[in-house]
Amino acid sequence: MNEVGGAGQYRERPSRFAGAVLWTRTVDGMDPVLPVLPDGCMDLIWRAGRLVVAGPDTRAHHPPASDGVRYVGVRFSPGTAPALLGVPAHEVRDQRVDLADLWPSSAVRSLVGQLEAADDTATALEEVVLRRAAVADQADPLVSRMTAALDAGWSVAAIAAGAGIGERTLHRRSLAAFGYGPKTLARVLRLQRALAAARRGVPLAETAALAGFADQAHLSRDVRALAGIPLTELLARS
């Protein structure tokens, strides 16, 4: 889910930064504003002359819907943004933080000037990310393996054993990379699997089974807890 909920004029494409998505959104005041649901991702967003980092969410985020405002963002796949942005994910969890609070203000002012002067803000923001990636630390090598294993239903103990580390170490590395521990990440990934299936028209009982829920009631409870609204309402509005 992109950082600004609702339909409006929304476009996205794969970024040249591996695993990321480049998206743009112009808010239409007539659109329903959907909550931004936890997905394990972080975003770097350009809006009205500001660069903002959207941290990983543990609950639904309800963005403002100012008519006519244009957003441009890069959505990073789970666990890949902290090394690039130079901030542990848990430090920005459930927050929207100005990049100038994380990076030297002079560097951010320079980037803002470049984006304001660009003919294509989306491409210019992508270039910012690519230049940063060329000098930034590499992401924790455990990130992709942990995400895939949790998405496949592995237990935390099995992942830790497979990586040759203790569960406490796994939890600490998960906090830095994803913003929360592996059990919460597994819950978030399960929610996203379920929503993807339901939006394809898969019946809800089958969706619950495919995504790894005990039953449809379990799916409904988890959606309400993480999204703040019932599953049927969420699907109808989206």
Q: Which of 20-29, 85-94, 138-147 has the highest mean pLDDT?
A: 85-94
Structure confidence at residue 192 (pLDDT):
94
Residue that terminates a domain, selected from 135, 160, 195: 135
CB 43 within 8 A of CB 54: yes
| Rounded CA separation 221/52 (Å) | 32
Comparing CA positions, the residue from 41, 39, 8, 21 lying closest to residue 125 is 21
Whether the pLDDT of residue 66 is over 90: the answer is: no
Same domain, 109 and 14: yes
Residue that terminates a domain, selected from 84, 112, 135: 135
- For residue 118, the enclosing domain spans 9-135
Same domain, 13 and 113: yes
Whether the pLDDT of residue 183 is over 80: the answer is: yes
Question: Could you tell me the pLDDT band of residue 1, with boundaries at 50, 70 and 90?
Answer: very low
Structure confidence at residue 77 (pLDDT):
95
pLDDT digits (tens, 9 = 90+) for 149-172: 998 989 999 999 999 999 999 999
Residue that terminates a domain, selected from 135, 159, 174: 135
